[in-house]
Amino acid sequence: MGSATVVSKTISDFRNHCFEDGDKFRYAVIVPQSTLSGLDDTAEYEYVELSAPGAETDGTLAQIIAFSDDHDVAEFSTDEGRPWACIRTRLQREIGLDPEGGDDDENMSVVVRECDTETLDALNVHRVSAWEQEDRDITTEGLAGYISARDMDGADALERGDVCELINPKTGSRIQLPIETYDHKNRTDNTIRINGITRKLLRVDSKDEGEDNEVRLRILTDVEEAETTLERASKWLGRRFVDYSYSNFRVLPGYDRDEGRNVVRMNEDAMKGLGIEENDRVLLSWMRGTKKRRNVRCQSGWEEDTALEPETAPESSYGEEESLSVRIPSTERDNLNISVGDSIQIRRDMRYQAGKQVSLSAFGILGVIVGTGQLINMIFQRITLGYVVSAVTIVLVLSVLTVWLVMNPIRQQCRTPE
């Protein structure tokens, strides 16, 4: 496997013309085209390993991107001719560098190594709607990519239901979906069937829509452990009492004013689809596991922000491209290891919704408890074991039923948006 050594710099060390539109916002290593060309078996937007020289541990996995054609290698390199690479500060720390330790080029050197990631390359995109299957939404979340059983069997590390990464090889945009097989007379190998929303998010076409109709599938080997029993129980109760809608959104750069404020922005129609209101909290999920999840507050965008709110829009633009976009500031993107152009899953925070609704109905719930106590006192003339057991049981049952009824409007919000 080939390798190259570069000197790590941050965005501020380069000029805007060095980047393609949006490249400087990526959580990746951006190198001169000559450096990328020197890695014979690696193309743009594929993954490489980044490590400090002499490091004994495995390198940090990241996408590799080339600077724009206007980038001048000679201008942005050391006196010895070693090229500079743009790497975000958080990624520098993951590699093992010390961004605050000064501009010593030797201390900021990074080795870029080619690596073998398990992928299925050049999968032709087909529409999900082109075939019929009664139980095609058989995954937990009901959203998946479908490949042939032969392609599934040809990948040793891939099993049905595994979450994999789909990548647009021309833009580097990514989305993570469960992968399933399907059985249909028109099934073919080296293809993947995904729905229209997923194709829009990745900006790919189906075979009969256009020429950009290929994706790369990367099998994730760094997915964290499954949910614990307590987490599964909490989620089960949350779905029964609060419930949630989820959707995938394409990541746009956040506003400068939102940096460090734990805030993301989307338009009103997108909020309705999630069953949330202004300033409600949502969960951003990039990979399974709590380390790739963020709890943030959701607010609407500025009126003049046509990327979220078009200048001329129908009464409701739900389902249009603007409603598939979310503005996430760099502080939150870095915590999730995502880039502008990626697509991330968002759902409302069930605990927040439950707390908000229960607090509004606290007096009603308290009235049920007090009324239940008075009813029990009428039935029992003195305190006995039967009195205690009956009182606790009845209060618990009625309290749970009351909370369930109180939460009904919240459950309906995420099921049938207006």
Per-residue model confidence (pLDDT) at position 188? 85
Assess whether pLDDT exceeds 90 at residue 278: yes
Assess whether pLDDT exceeds 50 at residue 197: yes
Look up tokens 């009492």; give the residue.
241
Architecture of domain 229-351: Beta Barrel (2.40)
Which numeric CATH code is attached to 119-219? 2.40.40.20
Percent of the chain's residues with pLDDT above 70: 83
Both tokens assigned to 153 = 């069997």
- Half-sphere exposure of residue 24: CA atoms within 13 angstroms, side-chain side: 15
Range with the lowest mean pLDDT among 61-70, 230-239, 357-366?
357-366
Both tokens assigned to 250 = 């394409």
Q: Which of 293-297, 385-389, 403-407 has the highest mean pLDDT?
A: 293-297
In the chain, residues under CATH classification 2.40.40.50 are 3-114
Percent of the chain's residues with pLDDT above 90: 46
pLDDT, tens digit (0-9, with 9 covering 90-100), for 102-138: 667 778 999 999 998 899 999 999 988 655 444 444 3
Cβ contacts of residue 191 below 8 Å, gap of 6+?
123, 124, 125, 126, 147, 148, 151
Q: Give the mean pLDDT of 249-269.
A: 94
At 47 the three-state DSSP class reads strand
Instruction: Identify which has the larger pLDDT, 141 or 168.
Output: 168
In the chain, residues under CATH classification 2.40.40.20 are 119-219, 229-351
Per-residue model confidence (pLDDT) at position 253? 94
Both tokens assigned to 343 = 């697509």
**Angle at CA of residue 219, ends 218 and 222, nearest 5°:** 115
Assess whether pLDDT exceeds 70 at residue 228: yes
Rg (CA), the chain: 26
Q: Which of 63-77, 180-194, 341-355 has the highest mean pLDDT?
A: 63-77
Pairing of the two strands 246-253 and 325-328: parallel
Assess whether pLDDT exceeds 50 at residue 263: yes
- The DSSP code for 83 is B
Fold of 3-114: Barwin-like endoglucanases (2.40.40)
**Angle at CA of residue 262, ends 260 and 265, nearest 5°:** 110
pLDDT, tens digit (0-9, with 9 covering 90-100), for 317-369: 555 778 889 999 999 999 898 999 999 999 999 989 888 877 766 666 666 66
For residue 393, name the pLDDT band (cuts at 50, 70, 90).
confident
Could you tell me how far CA 411 lies from the centroid of its own chain?
23
Whether 347 and 245 have beta carbons less than 8 Å apart is answered as yes
Q: Give the mean pLDDT of 8-34.
A: 93
Assess whether pLDDT exceeds 80 at residue 148: yes
Per-residue model confidence (pLDDT) at position 300? 93
Per-residue model confidence (pLDDT) at position 136? 46
Could you tell me how far CA 10 lies from the centroid of its own chain?
24
